[in-house]
Amino acid sequence: MMISALFILAGCSREDSEASTRERPQGIEIRPDVVFVKTDGEPIHRYLESTGIVEAARELPIQSRLSGFIDRHQIHEGMRVSAGDTLLRIADEEWQLRYREALNTRLKAEQEYRIERELRSRSARNGEGELSEREDRMLRQQTGLLQAEIAYERAALDLSYTVFQAPFSGEIHTPLNLSAGAFIGPGNELGKLLDHRTVLVRFDVLESELASVREGMTVELTTADGRTLNGRIRTISPMVNRDRKTGQILVEVANSDRLLKTGMTVNGRILTETRSGVLRAPRSVLLERDGRHLVFRLRGSMVEWIYVSPEMITPEYILLNESVFTAGDTLAFDRHFALSHQQRVNVRMMN
């Protein structure tokens, strides 16, 4: 019985094998689908990219040098002012009084000085009857005129501080809601005057990339909503941050429409290098095997494996100068990682 069973099993196995062979027809080639791309002979560009913060080209804190009560002001959020406009006026009665007192003291000292000078001039030793410069200076000090003049100038200066005028045109930013009659102290910051007609953008740049930038280079800026502007590098910082290994560049941007605001984040791109070669191709065509770069070029329905030494590599493109290439060659772009030399493929062109 055992021998019969073995014959039966062997027969079944042969039948299964024959059936399997019939299900897999011989001579059918399985080709992988590979995505290809057409190359060109355009130049390749290298860009330095960074993110920066916008600041006004001119920014001035609005603060009083004196303590006192606000008489009137134009310190309102977003208010546009012109150069010479009065932004803040402090009630000046006290400062007017000090000014008049200092003026009267100076006039009295001048009178005493003139009388004493006339008396001394008559008895002066020189023939012209005039005091020497040293004698005149001592007389001004003895009569109190010198101190009175200084006190008068100080009082006049303090009186001028009761009015704060805009030194340039711009916009006001303030977190405060100020009212006439409010008391303010000296040095209290009431807001800022910002000139946004021209803005500056600070970009951090890796120390390894600083050598590729120079003053005057054009910078393409992109805002968060996708709008683009152009600026130029105004200055390059002479110092590098030791911890972050970065330096700073300052980009100047014309902003007459006030699109850019202080504190905004923008992306910057600087063209640092341009090269031309035989062939430009997308970065994804480049593979690496055994430490060497290679690409697959399409020949009919077959690919050929070609070792390359890229002249230049950027995140988007590679530049090849090998004489075996011609601009317009078709290279494998995707689904090509497991290909072999002279393998036949199904061609799919990238849109």
Report the C-alpha gap between 63 and 92 in whole angstroms: 16
In order, the DSSP letters of 135-146 are HHHHHHHHTTHH
State residue 6's pLDDT score: 38
* 215 DSSP 8-state letter: T
Domain residue spans of the chain: 33-44+277-349, 49-57+196-274, 92-161
What CATH architecture does domain 49-57+196-274 belong to?
A: Beta Barrel (2.40)
Q: Which residue has the higher pLDDT, 58 or 135?
A: 58
On the CB side of 323, CA atoms within 13 Å amount to 0
Question: pLDDT confidence of 129, banded at 50, 70, 90?
Answer: low
State residue 3's pLDDT score: 44
Residue range 16-31: mean pLDDT, rounded? 58
Report whether pLDDT(27) > 80: no
Residue range 305-314: mean pLDDT, rounded? 95
In percent, the amount of the chain with pLDDT more than 70 equals 90
> Where do we find the tokens 């030399």?
341
Provide the phi-psi class of 55: left if phi over 0, else alpha when psi is between -120 and 50, else beta.
Answer: beta
Distances (CA, A) of 251 to 45, 193, 245, 260, 312: 21, 21, 20, 13, 28
State residue 128's pLDDT score: 55
Domains 33-44+277-349 and 49-57+196-274 share a fold: no
Question: pLDDT confidence of 26, banded at 50, 70, 90?
Answer: low
Residue range 12-16: mean pLDDT, rounded? 48
State residue 12's pLDDT score: 47
Neighbours of 311 (CB within 10 A): 16
Mean pLDDT (the chain, rounded):
89
State residue 21's pLDDT score: 45
- Classify 288 as helix, strand or coil: strand
Strand pairing partners for 94?
none
Q: By C-alpha distance, which of 82, 95, 86 is closest to 62?
A: 86
Question: pLDDT confidence of 31, banded at 50, 70, 90?
Answer: very high
Q: Which residue has the higher pLDDT, 92 or 128?
A: 92
Report whether pLDDT(17) > 50: no
Question: pLDDT confidence of 147, banded at 50, 70, 90?
Answer: very high
Integer-rounded Cα Rg, in Å, for the chain is 42
Residue range 73-99: mean pLDDT, rounded? 95
In percent, the amount of the chain with pLDDT more than 90 equals 80
- Classify 71 as helix, strand or coil: strand
Residue 293: its H or E element: strand 292-299
Tokens of 271: 């063209």
State residue 161's pLDDT score: 95
Residues 270, 223, 216: CA angle, nearest 5 degrees: 30
What CATH architecture does domain 33-44+277-349 belong to?
A: Beta Barrel (2.40)
Tokens of 91: 């009630």
> Where do we find the tokens 């006190």?
151
